[in-house]
Amino acid sequence: MFVSNGTLTSEQKSQDARFGYALAAAPDLNQDGFTDLVVGAPLEDEHRGAIYIYHGQDIYITHKPKQHITGSSLSPSLRYFGRSLSSRLDLDGDGLIDLAVGAQGKAVLLSSRSIVQINVSLSFQPHSINVIQKTCQRGGRDSACLNATTCFTAKSRSPESHSIAFDLWVSATLDDRKLSARALFDDSSHRQIQLSVGVQTGKALCYRLPFHVYDTADYIRPISFSLGFKINNTEVGPVLDEGWPTNIKKYISFFKDCGEDDVCMTDLVLQANMDITGTRQKPHVIRSPRKRLVVEVQLQNRLENAYNTSLKLHYSRNLHFSSLSVRENTNFKMECTALGSNSHSCNVSYPVFRSHSKVNFMLEFEFSCTSLQSRVQMKLNATSDSMEREDTLLDNSVQLQTFVQYQPDLFVSSISNLNRYEVHPTRSASEAIGPEFYTHFKLQNLGCYTLSNLELHMFLPSVAAGDAVFMTVTDVYAFNASGVTCSVLSDVARLKARQRDVRPLHTEDMLHNEILNCSRAWCTEVVCEVQQLGHEAIIRVTRRVHDDFFRKAKYKSVKIVSSFELTAQETSSITLGAGILRGESVLEVLKGRSIPISLWILIGSIIGGLLLLALIIFILWKLGFFTRKLREEENHED
């Protein structure tokens, strides 16, 4: 009794191909121990013909063909290829069953090919990557050099006794899943290499592939080594056993020096303190030129090695990171890179911060010119790729803060075009008003802070006892500044109401008082509001001296002392300090003396003048000046 076991399938174009016209049972074409089946289809492909090979599996035949051979692929002139089949002979004497296929007027012999299995082994020397002790140099850089040894052992499934030699095309790749290569082959300086190697059945042939590992930030995950191969010539020679693995992948780990379990358990301890140079008061006053902040840091590792140890810095916007310097132990190397406008990351003893190590270093910051915050804040956090217990993570972070004030570099000065003036005592009453002169008050911002809402107060002595005015303000003008508004208070009544402590000086008392300031005279008040001060602003105040006052007064010399001061609305972050923004401007007035002219001097001067005139006339007469003929007489003689 026969039981149906399915239907053999063929190509879709096999309709009307006479599929099954010829059948042949092949003893074992693929050397798997099972009988195979060859089916002819002589009318397929427009009567050119084709054959199908089905492999045996246990007591069954696989339903799908493993190989489809068309007559047109062998020779364009073949027709009715597959009309007859024979698979019982070894015609070339290699121990393999060959296949004879009949066609119209021709017969085609198809030789069987050997099937080989290739076993691959992969080993590394040394067995791990030691990045602490570099063993070679590659590309001018210290590297860890290793050798990968791969061995190929080929085994034939065919019953032939002689050895078969063939070539393999091998492709090796390092770290295939990483975007950036951590290891490179020595021969190609790339992480992939391809080469052709010779293989022989029954023998193990080994090849060495040297490679090197650069410094990398990833020391925890091992480096992968992938190797794939295929038979170089697929037209002749053996074929690889179907389903036999053609790839191998192994991993080589980094030497961590972390005990038998090879798991690094570390304990980082971070300590830091802040020091603002130049001041110990609270809040700290930031003055020029000591506008820097120093943070002293100590980091230690109390347990096993810490790989890729880094210190993250996050600081407030009023700071700029300047530098890092290692103290005491210079064997530690540290480098910092910016993560953002107010954060940095500094590696610590890259690549490994050794067990029971300690490093002291100093971070230096400069204060910002644009962001004047009243509080300095900073957070430091130490991390590594090694493991650390939860109960020891608390001392990995430090937060620092302090309050600060900023003292700008302001300078106020004055310069006048008249510093000494002599009052002439004999001029007429119409000349009661003296000369006009000006004083320049210069405001200089020598620092980098832009200041706003400043006020310059000028106190200019003007009125003495008895409401006698000896000096007046005629004009106020601002240079190199925008948003400056000035006001002048010169009304005597209002000045008296505001300046009640003044003891005015009388003209008869000026002989014994050489100073005329705002305590001995009422002063005109000039107030200039500066909305915003860049680098410099100049305010010109023009004044005029009243000569009639000084002609009446009894004095030899008097100094008129004007004072000025610059004030600002202090905030929580800005302070001007005390006594540094005041100044004085001095005008010295001298009493002129009238010198009487003697009568004898006048008489002598007149007589001398007459004698000089007579002498000139005598000389001219001697020269004939007065004896020259008239023009009419000269013309008559002619």
Half-sphere exposure of 333 (CA within 13 A, CB side): 4
Q: In the predicted model, what is the mean pLDDT of residues 134-162?
A: 83
Closest CA to 199 of 161, 234, 153, 241: 153
CATH fold label, 410-591: Immunoglobulin-like (2.60.40)
For the domain with range 116-255, which CATH number is right: 3.40.50.150, 3.40.1390.10, 1.10.3720.10, 2.60.40.1460?
A: 2.60.40.1460
Closest CA to 617 of 626, 606, 629: 626
**AA identity, residue 107:** A
For residue 184, pLDDT over 80 is answered with: yes
- What whole-number distance in Å separates Cα of residue 372 and Cα of residue 605? 79
Angle among Cα 130, 136, 140 to the nearest 5 degrees reads 120
- What whole-number distance in Å separates Cα of residue 225 and Cα of residue 253? 11
Q: In the predicted model, what is the mean pLDDT of residues 571-577?
A: 68
Query: Residues 6 or more apart from 35 whose CB is under 8 A from it?
Result: 25, 26, 27, 28, 56
- For 626, the token pair is 């007065």
Start-end of CATH 2.60.40.1460 domains in the chain: 116-255
Q: In the predicted model, what is the mean pLDDT of residues 261-279?
A: 82
User: Class of 268-406 per CATH?
Assistant: mainly beta
Arithmetic mean of pLDDT over the chain: 84
Q: Give the model confidence (pLDDT) of 382-415 as tens digits.
A: 998 888 999 899 999 999 998 888 877 888 899 9
pTM listed for this prediction:
0.59
Q: In the predicted model, what is the mean pLDDT of residues 148-157?
A: 90
DSSP state of 597: P
Query: Residues 6 or more apart from 324 whose CB is under 8 A from it?
Result: 334, 336, 346, 361, 362, 363, 364
pLDDT-derived band at 634 (thresholds 50, 70, 90) equals: low
- What whole-number distance in Å separates Cα of residue 490 and Cα of residue 580? 27
- For 445, the token pair is 């911002």
Start-end of CATH 2.60.40.1510 domains in the chain: 268-406
Start-end of CATH 2.60.40.1530 domains in the chain: 410-591
With helix as H, strand as E and coil as C, how does 113-176 read? Answer: CCEEEEEEEEEEECCCECCCCCCEEECCEEEEEEEEEEEEEEEECCCCCCCCEEEEEEEEEECC
- What whole-number distance in Å separates Cα of residue 51 and Cα of residue 205? 39
Q: In the predicted model, what is the mean pLDDT of residues 418-439?
A: 77
Closest CA to 560 of 411, 423, 412, 413: 423
Query: Residues 6 or more apart from 321 whose CB is under 8 A from it?
Result: 313, 315, 336, 338, 344, 363, 365
Omega of the bond leading into 126 within 30 degrees of 0 (cis): yes
